[in-house]
Structure 1
Amino acid sequence: MRKLLLLMIPLLILVGCSNSTVEQSESDKVKDNPLSDDADVETKEEQEPEGNADTNEEQGNGSVSAQEEKVVTKAEYVRKLAVVEASLAAQREIIETGTQVDMEEAAGEMYKAWDNTLNELYGILQSQLSDEVMQTLREEQRNWIVLRDEVAEAEAANYKGGSMESFAYTSKLMEMTKNRCIELVEMYM
C-alpha cells in the first residue's frame, strides 16, 4: 500500500501542474506509427532520413492530417498517465499477494503497459516538438535507455542466481519507464 501511495504522488503533482502546450510548426515531422519499442528510437532515425517523413503531399489533397491537427496538452497526457496507472491496479495487487510466477507475469504486464505509453508519448512529442528540440530528446532518450538497462541489471544482480532475479530486473524496468513517462510529460509537453 505504501508503494502505491509513493507511485501516485508524482502523478498527483503532475495533475496539479499548469496546462501548457507546445506550438506545432509546419516543419515538424509526423510519424504515422509510434515507436514499437525502445530500441527503435535509434533504428527509426537511422533508417529514415529527415526528408522521408510522411507528408500531406502523399494524401494528394494538401489537407492537414488528423494527427497534425491535434496538439496533445500536458493536462491531457497527465490524465492519460493516471488512467494507465489506475488500469494496473490488479497487477499491483498480484505483486503484493501472488505467487512468484504470478508476480513476474504481473511485473511484465506493467512494464509492457508503461513501455507502450512511453512509445506513444515519444511519438506525440515527435509530432509536436521542433526538429532541434526533438534531436536533443533523441539523444537524451538513447542515454536514458542505456542507464535504464544498467540500473535494472544492477538491481537484478542483488538477487544473482536467486528466484527473484528476473522479477527484480523487470520491476526496475517498469519503475524507470513509468518515471520516464512522467519526466517527458513534465519537461516537454
Structure 2
Amino acid sequence: MKKLVISLVVLIFALSCSKGSKENKTERISKVDSGNFTEVQASKNEKEKETQSQESSYSKGRNETKNQSNSFNVASNGNYTKELKAKMKKVEERLQSKLDSGVTSEMVNANDELYKAWDVELNKVYKLLMERLPNGEKEKLKNTQRAWVKNKEVKANEAAKEAEGGTLANVLYSGTIADLIKNRTIELAKMYDDLK
C-alpha cells in the first residue's frame, strides 16, 4: 500500500514537472544554479506569494471550522459522526487540489492543515466524551488516547522511512498523521454517538 502511495506521488510529481510551468522551472533552476541572482530572487518571490496564499487559506479554513462548529450538534442524537464527516468533507475538498498538485511543499502544507482541522474536531469530541462518560470509562479513554498519541508518531515515522530520506518522506509523514487523526476522530465520534 505504501509503495503504491509512493509510486502515485512520484508519478504526480513527474507529471507536474513535465508541465513546464515557469514557477517550477524557476524553482528547479534556482536549486541547480544558485549563482544566478534573478532566478533565485524570482523563486523567493514565488515562495513568499505561496506562503501568503497558504496562510490566508489556513485562516479561511479555521474560520470555516469556527462558523460550522456553531451550527454543529453538540448533544448527540446519534448523528454526530455523520455531521462531522459532512463538515470535514468541505475542508478536504478545499485542500484536494494542493494534495493532488505533486508539489511536495503544497502537499505537506495541505496535510498539515487537514491535521490541524481534524485535531480541533478530535479535541471537541474527546471533551464531549469526557463530560458524559462515567469515571471508570474516563480513565480508560485517557489511557487509550495517550497510547494512541504515542503510536501515531511511530506509525508516521515508519511511513516516512519508506521514502528513504527523500523529499517524499515529509509527504508520507504528514499524510499519515492526517489520516491517523481523521480515523481516530471518527472513532471517537462513533463512540459518542453510541452513548445513551
* TM-score category, normalised to shorter length: 0.5 to 0.7
Identity of aligned residues (%): 26
Counterpart mapping for 1:115-130 below 5 A: 115-130=119-134
Length-normalised TM-score, structure 2: 0.57
Q: 2:117 aligns with which of 85, 101, 113?
A: 113
Count, aligned residues: 121
Matched, 1:135 2:178: no
The alignment partner of 2:163 has SS state of coil
Bigger RCO (CA 8 Å, 6+ sep):
1
Question: CA–CA distance in 2 between the matches of 1:175 and 1:121?
Answer: 17
**Aligned residues of 2:81 and 2:186 also touching (Cα < 8 A):** no
Matched, 1:181 2:181: no
Matched, 1:74 2:110: no
**Aligned residues of 1:74 and 1:185 also touching (Cα < 8 A):** no
What is the RMSD of the two structures over their aligned residues, measured on CA atoms?
1.8
Rg: which structure is higher?
Answer: 2
Which consecutive aligned stretches of 4+ in structure 1 deviate over 4 angstroms post-superposition? Answer: none
Q: What are the ranges of 5 or more consecutive residues in structure 1 without an aligned counterpart?
A: 4-69
Question: CA–CA distance in 1 between the matches of 2:136 and 2:123?
Answer: 20
Whose helix fraction is larger, Structure 1's or Structure 2's?
A: 2
Question: CA–CA distance in 2 between the matches of 1:134 and 1:82?
Answer: 27
Counterpart mapping for 1:33-182 below 5 A: 71-182=75-186
CA drift at 1:98: 4.7
**Aligned residues of 1:152 and 1:169 also touching (Cα < 8 A):** yes
Question: CA–CA distance in 2 between the matches of 1:129 and 1:73?
Answer: 16
**Aligned residues of 2:91 and 2:114 also touching (Cα < 8 A):** no
Length-normalised TM-score, structure 1: 0.59
